[in-house]
Amino acid sequence: MRRVIVNKPGGTRALVIESAPEPTPSGDEVCVEVRAIGVNFADLVVRLGLYGSAKKYAGPVVVPGFEVSGTVRAVGERVTSFRPGDEVIGVTRFGAYATAICIPEAQVLRLPRGVSFTQGATFPVAFLTAWYALVELSRLRPGYVVLVHSAAGGVGSALVALAKRAGCRVIGVVGSTHKVAAVEALGADVVIDKSREKLWAAVERAAPDGCHVVCDANGSETLRQSYAHLRPMGRVIVYGFHGLLRRGSDRLNPLHALIGLMQVPRFNPLKMVEKNTGVLAFNLSYLFDELPLFREAMTELMTALERGELRLPAVTEVPFDQVARAHELLHSGTTIGKVALVV
């Protein structure tokens, strides 16, 4: 098989394609012949050597990636739900950038009818992130006002889709005019193009009483004002710090990152109690330690997908051999929806 390794932390040149022995499934594993691989912003952070759990879970050879789709090639002797030839989606804690992979049976799902391999490979991470943010941490209620930054991205699109499914009023924020229509198509009630109007004045017009939930992965660029625009009982949900990386550059600029870190707001618990608001943050890779919660989330999401209750984001397909280009597209900030490596 072929796989992508991170030779050493750095820019896209750190992504090296190498040959490796074909994997053999153990007793409870499903071996998947990979057709497509979801590319996520977290993969960029892994490549830069900044993803903390990669040091704990990825092993001595770091192979990025969390999600794949493909066809079952072989199964372990204890596997009962799948057999060779089945079309599946797999979720893994690292290792997905490969043409074949063995995944525990509990982390494999059938590819729903009518869903392509690229759509399937780009579904789990974005929607699991959105589900955990909105269902587990925010406890959404119909009528809540939900503000989603980077609403045209993979996770942003999933946040919009799930919030609308829950009956919420959704305000999506985009950074370019060409992204507005995509977020409108997902059902957002208001789309703010911050390249054409002042962001927070537009938020105040759309939600004069404040927001119940603000989903923010920008970091210091917007975090302080996201918190300031909560209503009582509101919550900011933080699931990344994209602002630490300069847009268009595939390398970490230490000065830019340091300035960004110095600008991260500090939240005083006494004032949070007085305002009755909160800030919650999470890292999806640790959800693998909570398999019952993982199964609950994926069962709900797959059921909603099969019923046609979710609108899937657009997918930009990139050949597996052009993995560096896939990362460059994410760095550019110009893509809509998700990016997938296609084998």
What tokens does 218 get? 């920008």
Q: Which of 275, 282, 170 is nearest to 217 (CA)?
A: 282
> What is the separation of C-alpha 55 from the centre of its chain, rounded to a whole number of angstroms?
20
Domain 125-285: which topology? Rossmann fold (3.40.50)
- Range of lowest pLDDT (41-55, 171-185, 196-210, 236-250): 236-250
User: What stretches of the chain show up as alpha helix (H) in DSSP?
Assistant: 41-47, 52-57, 117-121, 124-131, 154-165, 180-185, 199-206, 223-228, 254-262, 269-275, 291-306, 323-332
Q: How far apart are CA 70 and CA 37, in angstroms?
A: 9
Domain ranges of the chain: 2-123+312-342, 125-285
Query: How many C-beta neighbours within 10 Å does residue 239 have?
Result: 22
Rounded to an integer, the average pLDDT of 18-43 is 96
Nearest to 25 by CA among 69, 82, 63, 65: 82
DSSP-derived 3-state class of residue 336? coil
pLDDT at 250 (0 to 100): 67
CB-CB contact of 210 with 231 (8 Å): yes
pLDDT of residue 266: 87
The residue assigned the tokens 């709900």 is 300
152 or 266, which is more confident: 152
Average pLDDT, the chain: 92
- Alpha-carbon separation of residue 17 from 62, 133, 250, 319, 321 (angstroms): 12, 34, 18, 13, 8
C-alpha radius of gyration, the chain, whole number: 20
**H/E element holding 192?**
strand 190-193
CA distance 333 to 243: 11
Given the candidates 2.40.100.10, 1.20.120.1730, 3.90.180.10, 3.90.105.10, the CATH classification of the domain at 2-123+312-342 is 3.90.180.10
How far is it, in rounded angstroms, from Cα 156 to Cα 134? Answer: 12
pLDDT in tens, 114-142: 899 999 999 999 999 999 999 999 999 99
Contacts of 20 (CB under 8 A, 6+ apart): 1, 2, 3, 98
pLDDT band at 260 (very low <50, low <70, confident <90, very high): low
